[in-house]
Amino acid sequence: MHSFHYTSDSLHCEGVDLETLSKEVGTPAYVYSATTIRDNFRSLHKALAPLKHRICYATKANSNLAILRLLVEEGAGFDIVSGGELFKVLRAGGRADQCTFAGVGKMPHEIEYALSQGVYCFNVESEGELDLINFIAGKLGCKAPIALRVNPDVDTPTHHYISTGKNKNKFGIGLDRAEEVYTHAASLPHLTIRGMQTHIGSQILTATPFVEAIKKLTPLIQSIRKRHALEFFSIGGGIGIVYEEALASGDPAWWKERKNGAQLSAEDYASAVLEPLQQLELPIFLEPGRSLVGNAGVLLSKALYRKETPKKNFLIVDAGMNDLIRPALYQGYHEIVPLQRHPNRALEKIDVVGPVCESGDFFAQERMLSRMEVGESLAIMSTGAYGFVMGSNYNARPLPPEILIEGKKVTVVRRRQSWEDLVRGEIIT
C-alpha cells in the first residue's frame, strides 16, 4: 500500500496536492511519502516478529539523508556498498555497528574507513577480499568482522541485470567452495567470522526462490557452525513490488488484461521464510531496499510537446533518462498518471519520452493513456527506489530536487541542482 491517491481527480501524496506542489517546486521533481516508508518498514518488522531479526535497509535504493534519518528513527540498520554510503548513513545519524558492508569491489580506503568507524560486518565476496581485509585490519591493529556471501545457485524470475543468485553471476562464493573459504578465513589472524550472507537478486515476486536459497544453504550453515561461532544469517533483499497498479486504470477492460495481483507482501514473504529461517536458530538479517522505498516515491514531470507522426504519437516531457534510468536500463515498467485526472478524456496510444538525445530515453512505449495536453503534469509512479540515486548529469541536465512529505508537511530534502553545480569542480587548463 502507498499514500498516493486521487481526491476529486487531483493526485495527492498524503495530505498534499501534487499539482499545486509541482507549480511551487517546478518539474522534474521526486516526491516521497514518509508514511509509506514507515508503513513498509513496520509491516515487514511485524511480519517477522516471531524471529530474532534486524532489518538492514539497502542504502543504495535511495540514500537521501532525510530518508536514512527516517529509517534510523524506525530502528533500521543499514546495508552499504561503498564508503560513501557509510559516510551518508553516519551523517544521517545511523550507527556503524548496525551496518553491514556488501559489494564485490571494496577498495582499500573504504575498508580502512569502515574498520575505523566500527562497521558490524563485511560481507565478503572473494578470497582476495578476505586477504585484503585481513591485511588492513593487521595494519590498524584490530580484528575485522566478516561474513561470506554464499551464492546458492538458484534461479530467480527477474530481469537478468538484477539476478545475482546464479553461479554465472559475479556475486558471492559458490556453494561448493564455501567451506574451504571459511577455513581460509579462520586461518587469517586479523579476521573474526560473524556470519553468512546471501542475496539472490532483486524484484522477486514469489517467495519460492528465497525458500529454496535458505534450504540450499541450511546444511552449509549447520556444518560451518560446528567450527565457527556464527552470530547471524542474512537472507539479503530482493522482495519485489508491483509496478502496475489500479491507480492508472482509465479503462477497466484494459486494466483487466494486465498481469496484476502478483504482489509479494511482507506477510506472504514472512509466512514462507519464517519456518526455514527459524530452523537455523540464528539471528536473521534482511536487506530490503526496493520493498521499503520503491512505491513511496514518484517523479513529477510536465508535458513539453505533443508530437504526432503517421506511425506513432509522442508526449515529450521534461524528465529524462538522466533523472530515471530504469526503463532504459532494465526495461522497467512505471505507471504514468496525470496530476489532474479528466475521466471523460479518451485514451490514446502514446510514447512518453524525455528530452535526452538517446532513443532509450523513454518512460513508456505504445502505452494506452488518457490524453494529456502540453503544459499538463504527470507522475511517474513507484520511482522511490533506484530512481534519483541512479540519476546523472547527462546532457548537462541538473539533478531534480527531492521532496519528502509527511501528512501535510512538505520538506525539500535536496535542492534542485543549478547550472553552477554542473561546472563545480571542473577546470579549464
Q: Which residues bind ligand PLP (CB under 6 A)?
A: 58, 60-61, 79, 102, 199, 202, 236-239, 287-291, 385
Nearest residue (CB) to ligand PLP, 203 versus 322: 203
Check the CA dihedral 309-313-318-322 and report its sign: negative
State the greatest distance between any 2 C-alpha atoms of the chain, in Å, as a whole number. 72
- Grid cell listed for 220: 552449509
| Beta carbon nearer to ligand PLP, 172 or 338 | 172
Catalytic residue (choose from 13, 56, 142, 357): 357
Provide, rounded to whole angstroms, the least separation between the CB of residue 157 and ligand PLP. 13
* Shortest distance, position 387 Cβ to ligand PLP, whole Å: 12
Question: Is residue 357 flagged as an active site residue?
Answer: yes
Cβ neighbours for 248, distance < 8 A, ≥ 6 positions apart: 255, 335, 336, 337, 381
211 strand-pairing partners: none
The three three-digit cell numbers of residue 121, written as one number: 560486518
Q: Collect contacts of 168-171 with beta carbons under 8 A, ≥24 apart.
A: 170/104, 171/104, 171/125, 171/199
Closest CB 385 distance from ligand PLP, rounded Å = 6
Residue whose CB is less far from ligand PLP, 206 or 313: 206
What whole-number distance in Å separates Cα of residue 214 and Cα of residue 291?
20
Looking at the Cβ atoms of 269 and 362, the one nearer to ligand PLP is 269
Sequence-ordered alpha helix ranges (H) in 118-265: 127-140, 178-187, 208-227, 252-257
Min dist. Cβ of residue 171 to ligand PLP (A): 8
**At its nearest, how many Å lie between ligand PLP and the CB of residue 353?**
27
Residue with Cβ nearer ligand PLP (199 or 397):
199
Instruction: Report which of 162, 181, 176 is spatially closest to residue 123, judged by C-alpha positions.
Output: 181
Q: Which residues are catalytic?
A: 357
